[in-house]
Amino acid sequence: MRNKYIENFEKAQTAEKNIPDFRAGDTVNLAVKIKEGDKTRVQNYEGVCIAKRGQGTGATITVRKIGANGVGIERIFPLFTDSIEEIKVIRRGRVRRAKLFYLRALAGKKARIKELRRK
């Protein structure tokens, strides 16, 4: 059982952030604020969400994309950080697992995820 004061604080923190409903297997586009010296800019990071973990303000997502020369790049983002400006869901993936760590061992067309078909 969690402390009620901590729960109230987390509700206040999470209420102001607009996070779309997505899960592992979905392709997401994150607008990430990057600070370079005294300037800040927004850079998009698009990849497959391979894991969601935690709850409340401690929740994180792991996003994997394929970079130059076919090298896989994974980044772990806290969901309720100020450095994420917005999250867009590009595609919904049809997967049967909550954690898609098996994608690390796959390459090329084998690493693709089928799109979820809506009725």
Q: Where are the domains of the chain?
A: 4-107
| SS3 call for 31 | strand
Look at domain 4-107 and name its CATH class.
mainly beta
pLDDT tens-digit map of 46-92: 999 999 999 888 899 999 999 998 899 999 999 988 899 999 999 99
User: For residue 73, how far is the Cα from the chain centroid?
Assistant: 13
φ/ψ bin of 108: left (φ > 0), alpha (ψ from -120 to 50), beta (otherwise): left
pTM of the prediction? 0.87
Q: Is the pLDDT of residue 19 over 70?
A: yes
